[in-house]
Amino acid sequence: MNYYNANNEDNINVKNNKGLDQISDSPEADLKRLFNPAMVVEDTVPKQTNLPISLRPYRNSQQEFKEIQTQIEELLKASFIRPSHSPYAAPVTLAYKKDEGKRSRLCIDYRKLNEITRKDSTPVPLIDFVIDNLTHAKFFSTLDLTSGYWHIKIHEKDAEKLAFTTNFGLYEWLRHPFGWKNSPAVFQRTIRQIFYKNIS
């Protein structure tokens, strides 16, 4: 969220901001165009044990099978994942978005991997602190970073640890996935590094 302090409102002339009221969400783009070039920071997957976690794929209906296959093909095309020979394997499932009809998101069940992963304790800002900083704000804007974790690369040597299994193959992530224990902390630290000078 961006905001302008009320103390500086004399320097803001809304009338001169042509098209300000015409800004709209851009249409959805394919993954490769959306994330290329990506802002990336490589990060590692710290673990408490070297024993690999390997689970069998979940059973899917024919409809789920086709949907998973479609999303896998899109991720391969975007170079977010690649075929794997990893000893690790986490099962795949689909999460359906309540507010978007039948749209689904590919989810990896990393619960077993998360149990042996050392926690990254980078804090997420308290909402009360954020709201306090907006006390004197006059203008507000929001930014929804599409699939934010996918902007951050996984360290090459750690890609195999995030491997996941489907009923038609084994794959591993090259970007931070949703469902892994430390993805939120890594994302927060990356955003803080980028906007450090702009955060009051």
pLDDT digits (tens, 9 = 90+) for 145-186: 778 788 888 888 889 999 999 999 999 999 999 889 988 888
- How far apart, in whole angstroms, are the C-alpha atoms of residue 141 and residue 12? 15
pTM of this prediction exceeds 0.75? no
Total Cβ atoms within 10 A of residue 114: 15
Classify residue 32 by its DSSP letter: H
> In the structure, what pLDDT confidence band is assigned to residue 129 with cuts at 50, 70 and 90?
confident
Helix segments in 29-116, DSSP class H:
31-34, 62-77, 111-115
Q: What is the DSSP string of 116-169?
A: TBPP--PPPPPHHHHHHHTTTEEEEE----TTGGGGSBBPGGGGGGG-EEETTE
pLDDT digits (tens, 9 = 90+) for 61-118: 999 999 999 999 999 999 999 999 999 999 999 988 776 556 788 889 999 999 888 8
- How far apart, in whole angstroms, are the C-alpha atoms of residue 173 and residue 159? 6
How far is the first Cα of the chain from the last one, in angstroms, to the nearest whole number? 13
How much is the pLDDT for 83? 98
In which element (H, E) is residue 108 found? strand 104-108
Local structure of 139: helix, strand or coil: strand
pLDDT digits (tens, 9 = 90+) for 17-67: 444 444 444 444 455 554 544 444 455 566 666 678 899 999 999 999 999
Residue listed under structure tokens 């851009």? 26
133-134-137-138 Cα dihedral, nearest 10 degrees: 170
